[in-house]
Chain A
Amino acid sequence: MPEPITRRSALGRLGAVGVAVAAGTLGAGAPAGAQGPSPAFGLQESVQDGLKRVFGGRPMRDGTALIKLDIPPIAENGAVVPVSVEVNAPMTPASYVKSIWIVADKNRIPIIARATLTPEAGQAFVGANVRLGETTDVRAIVEQSDGTLLVAKREVKVTVGGCGG
């Protein structure tokens, strides 16, 4: 015998639909059924929204003294821009750099990549080739194991954008 529709069960089902819809929007950058990245990725949004979503309102300290953000000041081809980030901080199990985020402010997908490190690395260094859509600030955001956030920023002039659409 089918379960009679009560107000409670109807609300419950609506809630489930709501969750499914929310999950759908989060995965907009990664279509359903794919081996999805964590939902914090691949969203088209403004950099302010992205940082707020990922880090909440947590304060960020200026880490220019510690972070060496190596990126060419002028990128002729925005499709391939080598970025490397080196953090002058100890990598011991007690205190290490937990993750390094690379953010390009004006990209349609501003939060480009996150590197999660373990103390095995011995040195907080990561490099990657990224796309830049237009002349923009590039930030490296470093999260240490105690939760401290450090940020360093450089402007890159892009002659030919590399993000297409």
Chain B
Amino acid sequence: MSDIGKIRIRVPSNVKAGDVVRVRCLVIHPMEIIQRDAQGKIIDRNYNYITRVTATYLGKPVVTFDLTQSVSENPAFSFALKATAPGPVKVSFVDTHGGKYEGTADIAFA
């Protein structure tokens, strides 16, 4: 899984000041689910899944997701933000294996 942690963020291209825009992001991540052995017992190990996603815009937090293993593989998220000024949207992820991934996209006014 060399692609693990790859992030794609999509922001609308045609934004005017004051618009509420929707941002979509996707991260390549296995989001391992709990496995059971033949007896149905849970195999105890450190499953690798994303626990927290934080999105900031102009340095201010917009939304924080706390996740569990009930979230899909290669999770995709969307959220809204109010575009007040051109600037970066930064999304960062933390998983249970200590991995930290970060991606940014710029909001530019048309």
Contacts and interface: CB of A to CB of B under 8 A. Distances in A.
A33 B47 CA distance: 12
Contacts of A116: 63-66
Classify chain B's interface size: 35 or more
Q: Is the interface of A mostly helix, strand, loop or mixed?
A: loop
B4 interface: no
B68 interface: yes
Given A31-B46, A113-B66, A120-B57, A130 B34 contact: no
A120 B61 contact: yes
Interface string B52-78: 100001001111111111111111111
Nearest to A37: B51
26 contacts: A30-B51, A31-B45, A33-B46, A34-B46, A35-B94, A35-B95, A79-B72, A79-B73, A115-B65, A116-B66, A118-B60, A120-B57, A122-B82, A123-B82, A125-B80, A126-B77, A126-B78, A126-B80, A127-B79, A128-B71, A129-B74, A131-B69, A163-B33, A163-B70, A164-B34, A164-B35
